[in-house]
Amino acid sequence: MRITEKNETTTDRGQEEIFERLFKENYTRLYYYALGFIPDPETCKDIVSESFRLLWERFDSIKQETVLSYMFTHVHNLCIDHMRHQEVKNSYAASYLKITSEMSSNDWNEEEEKMDRILKIIDTLPPQTRFVLEQCYLDKKKYKEVAEVMGLTESGVRKHIMKGLSAIRDDFSVKYKKKQ
């Protein structure tokens, strides 16, 4: 509920009372309606609460006669959005599981060997270049953050990145050519 000022009109208080009554009378109904779509009680509570929050923001512009229809429609739409989002997440998870299950232990070992080689190459780089690569790729910091820490420009950070990646590429291309 909103914090009101002393000079508040009676219509504002009346709207708060109407909203509060609407909330008390319909929260449970809307919750069970959402539960019919989504079997997770906490998610349903979040959806209904979000719907009431939005109603409060738009309460002045919604006709009182249609407010309940509006609420049921909004909860319905939020449930559908949630289910679609879950479907996408499940699809990505299934794809990931499929890809990882297809990789044999040899593939995993090969990937680990490549990572070890890359880390050894990084260890041989000049200290500033090594620091930049570690911060950007291992610690996942942005160029701007690394630039501030090192007292460089973002362009300077990019140059160190290019230098480090070039060394890694050179090492891998030499090793690759030797194998053939």
Using CA atoms, how far residue 155 sits from 55, 62, 132, 138, 160, in Å, is 48, 53, 12, 20, 9
Q: Where in the chain is the domain with CATH 1.10.1740?
A: 10-101
- 67: its two tokens: 């407010």
Question: How far apart, in whole angstroms, are the C-alpha atoms of residue 161 and residue 130?
Answer: 9
- What's the predicted TM-score (pTM) here? 0.49
pLDDT band at 148 (very low <50, low <70, confident <90, very high): very high
Please state, rounded to an integer, the average pLDDT across all residues of the chain: 86
Residues in CB range of 42: below 8 A, 6 or more apart: none
Question: How far apart, in whole angstroms, are the C-alpha atoms of residue 151 and residue 146?
Answer: 8
Give the model confidence (pLDDT) of 33-80 as tens digits: 999 999 999 999 999 999 999 999 988 888 888 899 999 999 999 999
Using CA atoms, how far residue 162 sits from 136, 155, 177, in Å, is 12, 10, 22
Question: How far apart, in whole angstroms, are the C-alpha atoms of residue 113 and residue 10?
Answer: 74
Closest CA to 130 of 111, 146, 144: 146
Q: What is the pLDDT of residue 108?
A: 73
Helices 143-150/154-179 angle, 10° precision? 110
Give the helix ranges, DSSP H, for 103-153: 105-124, 127-133, 143-150
Check pLDDT > 50 for residue 172.
Answer: yes
Q: Where in the chain is the domain with CATH 1.10.10.10?
A: 104-179
Topology given in CATH for the domain delimited by 104-179: Arc Repressor Mutant, subunit A (1.10.10)
pLDDT band at 176 (very low <50, low <70, confident <90, very high): low
Query: How many C-beta atoms surround the C-beta of residue 132 within 10 A?
Result: 27
Question: How far apart, in whole angstroms, are the C-alpha atoms of residue 116 and residue 172?
Answer: 12
Q: What CATH class has 10-101?
A: mainly alpha
Q: What is the pLDDT of residue 47?
A: 96
Distance, C-alpha 133 to centroid of its chain: 25
